[in-house]
Amino acid sequence: MNRTFAEGAVILAPRGRDGVVARSMLVEAGLSARAVPDVPALVAALRGGAGFAIVTEEAFRGADLHGLVAFLKDQADWSDFPFILLTQRGGGLERNPDAVRFLETLGNVTFLERPFHPTTLISLAQSARRARLRQYEARRRLEEIREGREGLRLALAAGGLGAWAIDVPGATLRTDARSKAHFGRAEADAMSYDDLLAAIHSDDRPRMQAAVQDSLDSGADYDVEYRCLWPDGSLHWVQINGQVERNAAGAIARVVGVSRDITERRRREARQSALLSLGDGLRQMTDAADMSFLAARVLGETLGVSRAGYGVIDPLRETILVERDWNMPGIASIAGTLSFRDHGSYIDDLKRGAVVAIADARTDPRTAATASALEAISARAFINMPIVDDGEFVALLFLNHAHPRDWPADELAFVRDVADRTQAAIERRRAEAELAELAQTLERKVEERTRERDRTWQNSQDLLAVVGADGRFIAVNPAWTAVLGWQPHEVIGRDHVTFSHDEDQSGSDDALVRAQVGTLRHYENRVRHKDGGYRWFSWVASPEGDKVYASGRDITAEKEARDQLDAAQEQLRQAQKMEAVGQLTGGIAHDFNNLLTAISGSLELMQIRIAQGRSGDVTRYVEAAQQASKRAAALTHRLLAFSRRQTLDPRPTDINRLIASLDELLRRSVGPTIELEMVGAGGLWTTLIDPNQLENALLNLCINARDAMPKGGRITIETANKWLDRKSAEERDLPAGQYVSLCVTDTGEGMDAETIARAFDPFFTTKPMGEGTGLGLSMIYGFVRQSGGQVRIYSELGQGTTMCLYFPRVHEQADAVAVETSREVVRPVTSGETVLVVDDEAAVRMLVAEVLDEMGLKTIEASDGPAGLAILDSSARVDLLITDVGLPKGMNGRQLADAARIKRPDLKILFITGYAENAVVGNGHLDPGMHILTKPFAMDALGGESAS
């Protein structure tokens, strides 16, 4: 152990501001202090040297105290390290078992309840510091004696602090300054053996003299504890240890030894004994008045005061009613009603919840004017400790003393401890009485409920049953007879599946097994009626011990009604499907009739003008026909998107980057009256989508949002990473997992529930006639679903709309730019080479052949897969295969291409298709040397693809 004479405090208060506040108080009082974070750091600080420790109760609770116990065990004989333990309100020994453990563990510990007055903490800290300094002084003296005189070393080794010696001839007493101090004398004061005897309490003097005489007679060690009266009248305890020293002749020459002031220890022991006695007494009592009087007697006798008691407070009248008080012999009782104002102004402090401790009524400003009234009731010094219940000042614990008296912090803590224990015991007895009354009430209720349960058992229309561990009925209610025709004796003792339908018996066994280990919340089966028919029942059951208690409700009528409802709903769904198909085909027919009229009309006029020789007008009709064809192509593209059959080019995409690239286009599209805000999530995940389709979808959503805000407003485009658990995913009709969300929110008119329900229907639009096709949202829905995602609408009338698109996350690097792959390594087709064209539509074959002929390429035509494969299996030269994906006669375009690659592995292939077949193009990923062109296509696009 470090031998530094440390005087400062070590503070362990890891929670809240207790540590900071305590350190600040000590520093202001001129004491050094430092804080540590935990118990190991506390032990390290104590081993390094410290005067005392201040620790909060919660810092020790649950902590490993082995290191601290080891430190205390390692202390030298002279050391009794002092602790100040800050407890919570009501944290006394009776109500806080941990406090007893701490007392046993720490030994020299003083409990201080929070909240406390700063002066209380400072007083305790100074006392602890003085005690530690006395221990250091004892160590110094021990070391001096050990190094000097061997006899004095033996005496000090006995464990004393002050040194003394008595020469046997003449009974001459010699003492050092510390030993004199133990008897209240200054170093300069004379102190003879007669003075020593006079200072010893008269009740203890004979025992002390007998111990001295025994030591002189037998030569035994001298060890005695007794009380001594100091010149100021105060009572103290000392421990005296000594050994005899003999002269050369073997006769006893003197007795040498040490003295120790054990006042605080004896007080602690007395208080601990008093607390144990209080606890024993309180456990034997039930009356609150008797318990209060016991506490008053324990306080009075332990602290040696003139009077102690409890009183009931009337805070409005500022009076106290004392029914019974404990008084020292010769002190009169003050039972009755007393007014606080007749005895000073301290009632104001009590109302604030403060403890009032007055050492001398004559000198305290709160009582100086009324000191005579207080002295008349033997209360020149007193403690008033308020008792608070539910925040109200309801009672008072008081201690009175006829003479001036200090009230040290440890005594105040002891008084509080007794008050708390007593209050807790009273409350516990009150609670026990209430509990006993409650138990009687519950017993009556149990009897009533038992009768009610019996009535329920008899009157219930549901089947009630008790089933044993072997699966046989133990008891059934009369409903079995009323509902199923079975008498109880026909059911009891039989296996539970006896009455179940043959098809339900296995399920009934499983249901019983589940009910035996937990609550069965729902099970349906058919139960046989005595007439041979069956009725449907819905069962619930729960176990208790080795039995299962079950209740079955007859749902036969409900079951039939539910079946009828299911049939009606299925018919309704079929009708809705037919209505949707009719609406879809009607819309397609209407739009295509318009487009076909424009195309056929333009072709007829071209024919007429050519016949008339007026070729100048032909260009205008050609442009009209081409424009109608492009509109038809756009319509089919939207239909394919709605049906989720369009050709996609999915790529790992950073949606934030894509949105940023569209900023200018989107702002121009929504116009200057719309505020456009983009909120991109940081660290946004990558998703596998067709960037072009997402651009179209986002533009479409922004235009719809613009149209919903004719007077202007704000559009917010926001992205986020979403991790959908099973419940959240089911709400969005998606598998659980990680998704990227893209939401477009407007401050427009919003949608009602009916509009939201129909928003994705084909050709449904809320825009005026001629301003919308009704395929925009259905196209977005088809694209997102085809990409493995989902679309959700969140809207209220007048509150705006949010459209959220969810796309699955992929763990791939997003493409920085769109790059056409595999084309750079394929040699282009050149003039004079041969192209095999396979398509079941003769007009398409004709047009393709014409375009290829214009390019100087030879063509071979086939109308189906087998015909094309026959050509490829021949020795005919084929440099490029152009094939439709959907072909008749059992072989599609991809199968034809794969078969061709077996014999011609370097064959270049171009697919032309009206929609994407995933089984053909492999979810958008083609092998090297393969390309795809979507119908309808421009002839120059066909030429470009063929040449490349």
* Span 219-253, pLDDT tens digits: 889 899 999 999 988 889 999 988 998 888 888 88
617 found inside a domain? no
Q: How far apart are CA 737 and CA 735, in angstroms?
A: 6
Q: Residue 586: what pLDDT? A: 60
Pairing label, strands 686-689, 33-36: unpaired
Phi-psi region of 481 (alpha: psi -120 to 50; beta: other; left: phi over 0): alpha
866 found inside a domain? yes
Q: Are residues 175 and 251 in the same domain?
A: yes
Other C-beta atoms within 10 Å of 474: how many? 15
| Three-class DSSP category at 491 | helix
**Domain boundary, last residue among 93, 120, 144:** 144
The pairs formed by 658-667 with CB atoms below 8 angstroms and a separation of 24 or more are: 658/691, 658/694, 658/695, 659/698, 659/717, 659/719, 659/742, 662/695, 662/698, 662/699, 665/699, 666/698, 666/699, 666/702, 666/717
Q: Residue 755: what pLDDT? A: 82
Q: Residue 914: what pLDDT? A: 67
Q: Are residues 787 and 671 in the same domain?
A: yes
Q: Are residues 51 and 118 in the same domain?
A: yes
183 found inside a domain? yes
Q: Are residues 309 and 394 in the same domain?
A: yes
Give me the numbers of helices (H) and strands (E) for the chain, helices first please.
31, 34
Q: How far apart are CA 806 and CA 743, in angstroms?
A: 9
415 found inside a domain? yes
Other C-beta atoms within 10 Å of 277: how many? 15
574 found inside a domain? no
- pLDDT digits 0-9 by tens, 852-876: 888 888 999 999 989 999 999 998 8
Q: List the one residue out of 331, 415, 344, 405 whose CA is nearest residue 374.
A: 344
Q: Residue 823: what pLDDT? A: 38
**Domain boundary, last residue among 411, 433, 455:** 433
CATH number, domain of 715, equals: 3.30.565.10
Q: Are 885 and 892 in contact (CB under 8 A)?
A: yes
49 found inside a domain? yes
Q: How far apart are CA 493 and CA 495, in angstroms?
A: 7
Q: Residue 718: what pLDDT? A: 94
Per the structure, the count of domains in the chain is 6
Q: Are residues 95 and 209 in the same domain?
A: no
Q: Are residues 360 and 388 in the same domain?
A: yes
Q: Are residues 362 and 333 in the same domain?
A: yes
**Domain boundary, last residue among 433, 453, 475:** 433
Other C-beta atoms within 10 Å of 108: how many? 20
Model pTM score: 0.35
Cis peptide before 386 (omega within 30 of 0): no
Q: Residue 90: what pLDDT? A: 56
Q: How far apart are CA 844 and CA 848, in angstroms?
A: 6
Q: Residue 687: what pLDDT? A: 94
Q: Are residues 546 and 502 in the same domain?
A: yes
Q: Residue 390: what pLDDT? A: 80
Q: Residue 512: what pLDDT? A: 92
Q: Are residues 72 and 20 in the same domain?
A: yes
Q: Residue 250: what pLDDT? A: 85
What residue has token string 């041979």?
A: 532
Q: Residue 713: what pLDDT? A: 92
Show the domain range for 55: 3-144
Which H/E stretch holds residue 438?
A: helix 409-459
CATH number, domain of 849, equals: 3.40.50.2300
Q: Are residues 250 and 295 in the same domain?
A: no
Q: Are residues 107 and 18 in the same domain?
A: yes
DSSP 295: H
Q: What residue ranges of the chain have pLDDT lower than 50?
A: 1-5, 153, 155-159, 641-642, 644-645, 769-772, 774, 817-827, 917-920, 922-924
- Torsion, CA 744, CA 749, CA 755, CA 756, rounded to 10: 30
Q: Are residues 841 and 749 in the same domain?
A: no
393 found inside a domain? yes
Cβ-in-10-Å burial (0-12, 13-18, 19+) of 408 comes to: middle
585 found inside a domain? no
Q: Residue 157: what pLDDT? A: 41
